[in-house]
Amino acid sequence: MPTNAPLAATNLYKHYALQGKQINVLCGASFTTSPGESVAIIGRSGSGKSTLMHLLGGLDKPDAGKVFINGQDLYKLSERKRTLLRAAQIGFVFQAYHLLPEMTIAENVILPAMALGKRSRKEMMVRAEMLLERVGLSNRLNHKPQELSGGEQQRAAIARALMNEPPLILADEPTGNLDTVTGDHVMDLLFELTRERNTVLVMVTHNPETAARCSRTLTLNDGLLV
């Protein structure tokens, strides 16, 4: 079933083998997105939300089932092509920011563009500065991640996710490590920046208010999305 949706998953299966025991995490999870839509993924701890996000983002192979990004069968691509598609089409925002500690904030933000290798460093830096200004960090360009607060680091991670103007943003509990006020601010920013550009946003959240702001909520339960 090839599909031209921005993101579609069909019949995803994933298990882990742990100490001789098999844990079936995903057992036929499917869903499709429409352009401009935001989808909240909820489910109890351990239900497989992060596992699903990794599969959707091309970070880990499913045992069975397919992921389509703009009609492209993600796991049919070679490793190299998948890496390029990921850099061009998907922006990731994780709970634990994942900024590289030895690089400055601006250098972290241009990383996805470096992976594509299409723009000069100068061009990339101009865009990074624009994005960091958008997220309120124009005075932190040359700081190292550990010199920033949690909320600032997550805002930098959002700027990095938007570096290549990807049509799809995957966010796994992006405000899970932040206090409520900071988290709300980061969430406002994420919604604003994705809505502006009609980007599809798929977000794992524990917060019912955040889920309510999305166009749709899917619950992961017994390995299925309902």
Ligand X SMILES: Nc1ncnc2c1ncn2[C@@H]1O[C@H](COP(=O)(O)OP(=O)(O)OP(=O)(O)O)[C@@H](O)[C@H]1O
**Contact positions toward ligand X, by CB under 6 A?**
16, 18, 23, 25, 43, 45-51
Partner from ligand X, Mg ion, none contacting 51, C-beta within 5 to 8 A by type: ligand X
Smallest distance from ligand X to CB 153, Å: 19
Toward ligand X, which CB reaches closer, 32 or 50?
50
Taking residue 59's Cβ as centre, other Cβ atoms within 10 Å add up to: 13
Of 15-23, 45-53, 96-104, 153-161, which part binds Mg ion (CB under 5 A)? Answer: 45-53
**Token pair for 110:** 């241009």
Per the CB < 8 A criterion, the answer to whether 197 and 1 are in contact is no
Partner from Mg ion, ligand X, none contacting 120, C-beta within 5 to 8 A by type: none
In this structure, the strands spanning 64-69 and 21-32 are unpaired
Burial tier of 190 (Cβ tally within 10 Å: 0-12, 13-18, 19+): buried
Give CA–CA dist 18/206, Å, rounded: 26
Partner from Mg ion, ligand X, none contacting 83, C-beta within 5 to 8 A by type: none
Cα maximum dimension of the chain: 52
> Which member of 3, 30, 32, 50 binds Mg ion (CB under 5 A)?
50
Partner from ligand X, Mg ion, none contacting 18, C-beta within 5 to 8 A by type: ligand X
